[in-house]
Amino acid sequence: MYIVSGEEMRQVDRFAIEQIGLGGFTLMENAGSSCSRAIERQLKKNNRIAVVSGGGNNGGDGFVIARYLAEAGFDATLEVIAPRMKIHGEAYEHLLVYERAGRAARFYETDSEAVEQAIAGADVIIDAMLGTGVTGELKPPYKEIAALINRSRALVFAVDLPSGVPSAEAADIQAGVRADRTYMLAARKMNASLPGYRSFYGTIVPVDIGIPELAYVSAKADRRIWLDEQKALRHLPHRDPDAHKGQSGRAAIIGGSMNMSGAVMMAAEACVRAGAGRTTAVIPDDTLSAAAPQLKEAMYLPLPSESGEFARSAWGKVPEAVHADGVAVGPGLGRNVTNDIFPLINQLDIPIVIDADALLDLASDLEQLKIISRTSPVILTPHPGEMAVLTGLSIEEVQAGRFSLSAKFAKTYGVYLVLKGRETIITGPDGRQWVNSTGNAGLAKGGTGDVLTGMILAFLLQYEDPAEAVFMAVYLHGLTADYLAERADQISINASDISHELGTVICQLKQKCNEAGRTIDIRD
Ligand SMILES: NC(=O)C1=CN([C@@H]2O[C@H](COP(=O)(O)OP(=O)(O)OC[C@H]3O[C@@H](n4cnc5c(N)ncnc54)[C@H](OP(=O)(O)O)[C@@H]3O)[C@@H](O)[C@H]2O)[C@@H](O)CC1
Ligand SMILES: [K+]
């Protein structure tokens, strides 16, 4: 599914209407009929339903929904908050269709008390007041009606967006409807993936309204999310039956310090479990006895240490000492001795994943990234705090601009950026973005990032396309956490459990998709 801003959605709509010839009236009919069918599955026959409509096209969707629900025999009334005079275009045509079908809408302008009573007394409220067209703070009486909806005990289903929630990134939100479910039309709106707005949406139900792919291509809205597991099947790691260990790649993971020998070893174990042919842990020599017993499958390359961390002089030795097809640097490095990771980026033209403390070293001289000439990809995996250091912004600013900041950063420095969070955003150096839908709050725990780093490195060695490798690592990391959370509470998820169960999850995924008859949607 595509992810769009409100402005991009308008461009997509315009293209579908003007260039493809799908009329706005038809799209609204599609939106309303598809939504009402999806909504009906949540309704009980005796529910009192209030469809609350505005005067724009979101309201128009509401007129169609009210007609379908009434025709299906539900006790559904249409409460229109906008004055009749302000309703135009396709929305007005659909209001007329509703009325000509023998139904009567109630208008807040002329019957405010009855409208408020209908809303207060409803079991289910369908919020079709405002969608992508909202600007600024909610105006009266929408603000008061939104508050009334939020106070009610009814189930609240929003159409496209909860009214009042802006669709543009980093727009302020003062008040808005808090929905239990949001029936999102055609494409996912950007803000549904941003922390400040996500809670307004409730469960998001995608609703197809028949807009052709070409309309998205024309709007250059190149951001996607996978909402079903079947999409993953085509992209799962695959092993040739005749494979030998040399073909799955040699991985080197550089990290660890006296107090954090576990981090580098968790990354190394994840790398082994995710299929790397040979994995070497490059560690400070005085941590060898602590690190080595943690993983039998790894090889070890100890380098000079100082105060329990890599000595500054060790960094110059790394490019020659490491014989690998891909490298990750960062897990558990520590911050007492300054790390110098630029020789790695400069001299090793193999895929490199930069994580954790190494990101902070990178931040001290980011401009160097622009002048280094490499053909192999650089992958940065910051959490919002690390991204704040990389950009010089506050964490709040990072979170409010996750999409645009990621795109700008990845393009400026020519890197793949994995901005972690509830919905991790992966951005390619060309600005294309993928949003991950798997994972849960159990991942908010030390070590899970180290495991992800190891998985990304292993996949980089097995996939041709770095974007696919990075996305699949993030996707399966989250999916394994979801698998674990189905068996024990989220709070008990251990980072290493993700490595241990990864194979089971991939296996289950293959089985599930096979059982579903291999109906793979190729539009991903
Ligand atoms: N285009 C298509 O093909 C399709 C579009 N579709 C649907 O259209 C929706 C977008 O429709 P849209 O552009 O008409 O905007 P919409 O969200 O109804 O809001 C406009 C109204 O809001 C009002 N208003 C604004 N700000 C306000 C505030 N702060 N506080 C209070 N009021 C405020 C503004 O009033 P005004 O300020 O002009 O007085 C105006 O009346 C989209 O989300 C989807 O549901 C589907 O049918 C599929 C086909
Ligand atoms: K709405």
Residues of the chain with pLDDT under 70: 170-171, 245, 516-524
In the sheet where 299-303 sits, what is the strand order? 223-225, 433-435, 425-427, 416-419, 378-380, 352-354, 326-329, 250-254, 278-284, 299-303
Ligand 1 pocket member 60 (CB < 6 A): yes
Q: Which atom of ligand 1 is nearest to the CA of 128?
A: 45
Q: Which CATH class is domain 3-221?
A: alpha beta
Question: Is the alpha carbon torsion for 101, 102, 106, 107 positive or negative?
Answer: positive
Residue 171: predicted pLDDT: 66
Is the preceding peptide bond at 382 cis, omega within 30 degrees of 0? no
Residue 373: predicted pLDDT: 86
Ligand 1 pocket member 90 (CB < 6 A): no
Calpha distance 332→232 (Å, rounded): 31
**Residue ranges of the chain that CATH labels 3.40.50.10260:** 3-221
Ligand 1 pocket member 212 (CB < 6 A): no
Tell me which residue has its CA closest to atom 1 in ligand 1.
Answer: 13
Rounded to the nearest angstrom, the distance between the alpha carbon of 128 and the centre of ligand 1 is: 9
Calpha distance 95→66 (Å, rounded): 10
Q: Which ligand is nearest to the CA of 178?
A: 2
Ligand 1 pocket member 98 (CB < 6 A): no
Query: Above 0.95 for ipTM, yes or no?
Result: yes
Residue whose CB lies within 8 A of the most ligand 1 atoms, among 26, 134, 149, 188, for a mutation test: 134
Give the angle 250-256-262 at the CA atoms, nearest 5°: 95
Residue 522: predicted pLDDT: 41
Q: Which atom of ligand 1 is nearest to the CA of 56?
A: 18
Ligand 1 pocket member 210 (CB < 6 A): no
Ligand 1 pocket member 135 (CB < 6 A): yes
Ligand 1 pocket member 160 (CB < 6 A): yes
Ligand 1 pocket member 55 (CB < 6 A): yes
Residue 517: predicted pLDDT: 59
Calpha distance 194→402 (Å, rounded): 7
Ligand 1 pocket member 24 (CB < 6 A): yes
**Torsion, Cα of 15, 17, 18, 22 (10° steps):** 120
Residue whose CB lies within 8 A of the most ligand 1 atoms, among 130, 173, 177, 209, for a mutation test: 130
Residue whose CB lies within 8 A of the most ligand 1 atoms, among 22, 132, 190, for a mutation test: 132
Q: What's the DSSP call for residue 331? A: T
Residue 285: predicted pLDDT: 95
Q: Which residues are annotated as a binding site?
A: 57-61, 127, 131-137, 142, 160, 163, 263, 332, 383, 420-424, 449-450
8 A C-beta contact, residue 312 and residue 337: yes
Residue 276 three-state SS: coil
Residue whose CB lies within 8 A of the most ligand 1 atoms, among 58, 94, 108, 137, for a mutation test: 58
Ligand 1 pocket member 185 (CB < 6 A): yes
**CATH code matching the domain that covers 232-515, chosen among 3.40.50.150, 1.10.3720.10, 3.40.50.460, 3.40.1190.20:** 3.40.1190.20
**Residue ranges of the chain that CATH labels 3.40.1190.20:** 232-515
Q: Which ligand is nearest to the CA of 65?
A: 1
Q: Which ligand is nearest to the CA of 51?
A: 2
Rounded to the nearest angstrom, the distance between the alpha carbon of 54 and the centre of ligand 1 is: 8
**Torsion, Cα of 364, 369, 371, 375 (10° steps):** 160
Calpha distance 93→206 (Å, rounded): 25
Q: Which ligand is nearest to the CA of 172?
A: 1
Q: Which residues are annotated as a binding site for K(+)?
A: 58, 127, 163
| For the chain, percent of residues with pLDDT exceeding 70 | 97
Residue 309: predicted pLDDT: 94
In 3D space, the residue among 134, 183, 137, 131 whose CA is nearest the CA of residue 157 turns out to be: 183
Count of alpha carbons within 13 Å of 127, Cβ hemisphere only? 34
Ligand 1 pocket member 133 (CB < 6 A): yes
DSSP string, 35-67: HHHHHHTT--TT-EEEEEE-SSHHHHHHHHHHH
Tell me which residue has its CA closest to atom 15 in ligand 1.
Answer: 133
Residue 518: predicted pLDDT: 54
In 3D space, the residue among 128, 99, 156 whose CA is nearest the CA of residue 32 turns out to be: 128
Q: Which atom of ligand 1 is nearest to the CA of 17?
A: 3
Calpha distance 377→398 (Å, rounded): 24
Residue 420: predicted pLDDT: 97
